[in-house]
């Protein structure tokens, strides 16, 4: 009998990955390399502050050295670029992350392109994104990488499956579509202008909801025994955080489902730590 209401424990899986990384970090440290991550936060957006705190705390747990650079929301683009230049040259730093979104006066593309691709642990630099598209080795963006790891650790096969991705962002939708194709999935992309969304989502073996719209997908969008991965982190007025999927409405229908919070979010942070450790390992090899 097929399983229903099977919740994928992203929080637990991420804790497992952190403990695996902690052992690797200890080995690297004994060899004289302590992985280091710099996190740049521009402005006072409360959600971004919360995410950055979570990333720093995770570094501390795993033994990764971290630096936080806080810049005020009126900072000039040239000043942010100067910070990136300094971090690119800093031997203690193996990974650089600039928390998005940035204030309007700053062009995120210019900032991302200034990061040394070898320190681009977010995987957002055009060089790393391009490598992903053509199947070359490079840093993978953390959320899509975390989703792939969740599927793998849940023994969910991808080859030949029909995966429907809702959302075409550079951070999630686009990169996950290439990672899935690399693993031999058939991928359908849907987005905010897709007509009759349910027509597509109902055909999914695996549904990835990354549209950034609270409870966009409910019972009418999902066929029985679908694997549902919810990337949404939408803050409701009462401050409760909910996903793009109406969890309670579909959990019995889904063969597997990720909760929000406690699903994809912790995995994203775990893969950021993974990329930082990889960056440190690469430098050791040079």
| Cβ distance to ligand GUN smaller for residue 25 or 271 | 271
Answer yes or no: are the C-beta atoms of 166 and 211 closer than 8 Å. yes
- Of 5-13, 18-26, 91-99, 239-247, which part binds ligand GUN (CB under 6 A)? 91-99
151 is an interface residue for ligand GUN by CB under 6 A:
no
Find the radius of gyration of the CA atoms of the chain.
19
Instruction: Give me the sheet containing 65-71, strands edge to edge.
Output: 65-71, 36-42, 95-98
x/- map, 201-240, ligand GUN, by CB under 6 A: ----------------------------------------
In angstroms, give the least distance from the CB of 40 to ligand GUN. 9
98 is an interface residue for ligand GUN by CB under 6 A:
yes
Identify the H or E element spanning 25: helix 10-30
| Cβ distance to ligand GUN smaller for residue 97 or 229 | 97
Q: How far is it, in rounded angstroms, from Cα 71 to Cα 105?
A: 13
Q: How far is it, in rounded angstroms, from Cα 191 to Cα 211?
A: 7
- Residues in 156-175 that interact with ligand GUN by CB under 6 A: 171
Pair of tokens at residue 140: 């993978």
* Sole binder of ligand GUN in the list 122, 205, 244, 278 (CB under 6 A): 122
- Of 57-65, 72-80, 84-92, 93-101, which part binds ligand GUN (CB under 6 A)? 93-101
| Cβ distance to ligand GUN smaller for residue 144 or 259 | 144
Any idea how long the chain is?
Answer: 286
Sequential DSSP letters for 90-116: -TT-SEEEE-S---TTS-HHHHHHHS-
193: exposed, middle or buried (Cβ count in 10 Å: 0-12, 13-18, 19+): exposed
Catalytic site residues? Answer: 55, 99, 122
100 is an interface residue for ligand GUN by CB under 6 A:
yes
| Cβ distance to ligand GUN smaller for residue 59 or 171 | 171
> Interface residues with ligand GUN (CB under 6 A)?
97-100, 122, 142-143, 171, 268
């Amino acid at each position: 009998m097929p399983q229903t209401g099977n919740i994928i424990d992203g929080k637990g899986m991420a804790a497992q990955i952190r403990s695996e990384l902690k052992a690797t970090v200890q080995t690297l440290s004994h060899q004289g390399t302590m992985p280091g991550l710099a996190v740049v936060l521009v402005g006072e957006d409360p959600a971004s502050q919360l995410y950055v705190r979570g990333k720093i705390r995770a570094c501390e747990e795993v033994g990764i050295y971290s630096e936080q650079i806080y810049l005020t929301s009126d900072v000039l683009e040239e000043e942010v670029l100067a910070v990136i230049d300094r971090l690119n040259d800093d031997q203690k730093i193996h990974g650089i992350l600039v928390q998005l979104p940035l204030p309007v006066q700053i062009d995120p593309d210019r900032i991302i392109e200034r990061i040394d691709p070898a320190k681009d642990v977010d995987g957002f630099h055009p060089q790393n994104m391009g490598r992903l598209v053509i199947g070359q080795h490079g840093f993978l963006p953390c959320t899509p990488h975390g989703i792939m790891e969740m599927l793998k650790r849940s023994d969910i096969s991808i080859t030949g499956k029909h995966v429907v991705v809702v959302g075409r962002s550079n951070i999630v939708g686009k990169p996950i579509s290439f990672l899935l194709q690399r693993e031999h999935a058939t991928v359908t992309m849907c987005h905010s202008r897709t007509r009759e969304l349910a027509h597509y989502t109902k055909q999914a073996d695996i549904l990835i909801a990354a549209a950034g719209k609270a409870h966009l997908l409910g019972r009418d969008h999902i066929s029985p025994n679908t694997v549902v991965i919810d990337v949404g982190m939408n803050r409701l007025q009462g401050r409760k955080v909910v996903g793009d999927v109406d969890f309670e409405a579909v959990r019995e229908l889904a063969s597997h489902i990720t909760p929000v919070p406690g699903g994809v979010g912790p995995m994203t942070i775990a893969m950021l730590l993974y990329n930082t450790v990889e960056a440190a390992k690469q430098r050791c090899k040079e």
